[in-house]
Amino acid sequence: MVMLASYGIAVLFCVITMFCWGSWGNTQKLVGKTWRYELFYWDYVFGVVLAALVFGLTMGSHGQYGMSFCESLKQASRESLLWAFAGGVVFNIANILLVAAIAVAGMAVAFPVGIGLALVLGVLVNYLGDPAAAGKPYILFPGIALVTYAIILNAVAYSKLPKTADTSMGKGLTLSILCGILMSLFYFFVAKSITGVEGASDSALTLANLQQEGARLEAGKMTPYAANFVFSIGILVSNFIVMPILMKKPIVGTPVALGAYFSGRASDHLWGIIGGIIWAIGMTLNVVASGVASPAIAYGLGQGATLMSAIWGVFIWREFRDAPKGTTKYLVAMFLAFIVGLGLIIWTKL
């Protein structure tokens, strides 16, 4: 399988994750006026599974180190499979809440509040899971504190928007907060299923460790590519349970029939699949990078998607165009806090 040996490349992978995770929501915005988010989400999930499988059969099956994608799946223990699958289930519920929050409140609010909260809680969870691999906590946690401050500033800016019948601060923030709490947990579950190296000084799965004489992958655990695919299957299976319920009793709007999915235009379905592929590219690169950067740092940088989504929401979709005077200062402060906070997270292992 293809692996990383450089922290710099790992950070680059995480930055790409940030762009992917912060940009896929645009595909929903492109079809949101004519295509219900519940219907969009089916194609999004199919895109995630497709991308995870392609990565597994390509990057996960070639290279001179570690197990191939298929070999890893065959030798995986039931415990590892369950961890990765559970991660997919938890993520799916959280992401459905996020998609609903986007529909209610827009990207400039749903991402910074929901995913920003997930960043803060997720870094804490993953740090506690492996403190030694995360670098300097006295740099990491101030970075997290600044991101938290940015989230608060975003909530303040959002509170100043004029309210309409379809957009309320209460519903948008509630959905985003619930999303953030659940989203903070899924990555820890997936990381529990990914192999380290027996006899290595820490749990990092690095090229240097694999080159050590006698180093062996942990039996029963999976490569990042295999774990990522099982994770995607958890999303797919849970979607067949959760989404039909939400379509009958939707969070936003009126009930929608399952048969409505087949009435969509080809472009409606295509944008959903593209959205899923974009997100899955980010996820795959992130779990590969986590072996060098540590799960806490990789997850934290990836969830810098909050910054990217806020940029899209503010400058492209202009979701704050009707905000009263004085709101701009909160948005500027939010962007600065995000940028400095993410910089500190990167610095943690330099």
Q: State how many domains the chain has.
A: 1
The predicted pLDDT at position 196 comes to: 64
d(CA 299, CA 10): 12
Taking Cα atoms as reference points, which of 234, 286, 284 lies closest to residue 88?
234
Is residue 2 included in any domain, yes or no?
Answer: no
Flag whether 223 is in a domain. Answer: yes
pLDDT tens figures, 28-72: 889 988 899 899 999 999 999 999 999 999 999 987 667 899 999
Q: What is the pLDDT of residue 105?
A: 76
Return the bridge partners of 217, or none. 197
Per-residue pLDDT of the chain (350 residues; tens, 9 = 90+): 888 878 999 999 999 999 999 899 899 889 988 899 899 999 999 999 999 999 999 999 987 667 899 999 999 999 999 999 999 999 999 999 987 887 777 766 777 788 878 888 998 999 998 888 888 999 999 998 998 898 888 878 877 877 654 455 678 888 989 999 999 999 999 999 998 644 443 444 444 454 443 335 678 999 999 999 999 999 999 999 999 999 999 887 899 999 999 999 999 999 999 999 999 999 999 999 998 888 999 998 888 887 888 788 888 888 888 889 899 999 999 999 989 998 999 899 88
Residue 32 CA to residue 319 CA, distance in Å, equals 14
Q: Is position 33 within any domain?
A: yes
The whole-number pLDDT of residue 164 equals 56
1 in any annotated domain: no
Q: Do residues 223 and 1 lie in contact, with contact meaning Cβ atoms separated by under 8 Å?
A: yes
Q: What is the pTM of this model?
A: 0.87
**Domain for residue 133, yes or no?**
yes
Residue 152 is predicted with a pLDDT of 84
Within the chain, strands assigned E span 197-198, 216-217
- Asked if the structure places residue 325 within a domain, the reply is yes
Backbone dihedral region of 323: left (phi > 0), alpha (psi from -120 to 50 degrees) or beta? beta
User: CA–CA separation, 42 vs 66, rounded Å?
Assistant: 34
> Residues near 344 by Cβ (< 8 Å), separated by ≥ 6?
139, 140, 142, 143, 146
Q: Which residues fall within 8 angstroms of residue 216, CB to CB, at 6 or more apart?
A: 197, 198, 199
User: pLDDT value at position 212?
Assistant: 43
Which residue range forms the structural domain that includes residue 59?
Answer: 7-347
- Contact (Cβ atoms closer than 8 angstroms) between residue 172 and residue 107: no
Asked if 281 and 58 touch (Cβ cutoff 8 Å), the reply is no
Has residue 313 been placed in a domain? yes
Q: For residues 289 and 107, give the distance between their C-alpha atoms in angstroms, rounded to a whole number.
A: 26
DSSP state, 195?
-
In a domain, 334, yes or no: yes
Q: Do residues 288 and 207 make contact, with C-beta atoms less than 8 angstroms apart?
A: no
What lies within 8 Å, CB to CB, of 81 at 6+ separation is 193, 222, 230
Residue 212 CA to residue 303 CA, distance in Å, equals 32
* Residue 197, phi then psi, degrees to nearest 5: -120, 125
